[in-house]
Amino acid sequence: MTDVFARLESFGARFRLERDLAPEQDWIGCDRLLDPGSEELARVLEAERQASGQVSDHATALTVMAVYAGTVTASALLAWAIEGAVVDVRPSNMAIRLSPQHGFEAVGLREPYVVDAPVETLVSWVLEEHLLPLAQAMRVRTRAGLRQLNGGVAYGCAAAFCIASRRGGDVDRLQSAYETFLAASTGGLDRLGEVIRLREGDREGLFYLRNTCCLYYTSAEAVKCSSCCLDSVEDRITAYRRVLAEGGVPH
């Protein structure tokens, strides 16, 4: 189990899971976020609105959904892809700490529970019990479009495989794992974007093409995500190839 968490962290801070959750650190239980009327969900949305300078509640929700899926539960997807292990990321077992910056300061597990289980367990714990209900809660809270919210879910899940593929992960294995996950997934993720494989010189990796927008460009930062559907597929692929050639890891 220790090796699983150490291997995850080797792919970057995005995949780090804290496992000693001191109460004085102001952890927010992820299960509380599934209640659209909860104070905790309000805090998460307000923290992101302040950090990124979003202009509307629904844009804030879309940004949070994409960031949340790409960080809070991403480690479980990567652990399954590279180790065949499923980390318990059900909402009742997870907590987050807010950050004054865009995103979250930390993601933690109440109990570091890891099991050898099939992809169906992964889909249940990540999507059916966590991300998709959270999208529904944000829909109720902010009236953000459910398709766009689920687009953030799809993007965040794909990010786990894509980022790892450009940080030393086995591209063949990660691509196969993503395709297996996508085939088993619920929520129509297959219609919300596409993972492509690119090579430049001796470097190759997986990249995501979104079909929905998280509206981050409406924030005070006024920048688009590298996968933004407001850019043409051709422009996104050109940009991805340039980043791949330079050895970067776009978000």
In this predicted structure, what is the pLDDT of residue 195?
Answer: 97
Residue 215: alpha-carbon gap to chain centroid: 16
pLDDT in tens, 130-186: 999 999 999 999 999 999 999 999 999 999 999 999 999 999 999 999 999 999 999
Domain residue extents for the chain: 2-246
pLDDT in tens, 29-77: 999 999 999 999 999 999 999 988 888 998 999 999 999 999 999 999 9
Please tell me the distance from the alpha carbon of residue 143 to that of residue 62, in angstroms, as a whole number: 10
In the DSSP assignment, the letter for residue 210 is: E
Please tell me the distance from the alpha carbon of residue 114 to that of residue 111, in angstroms, as a whole number: 9
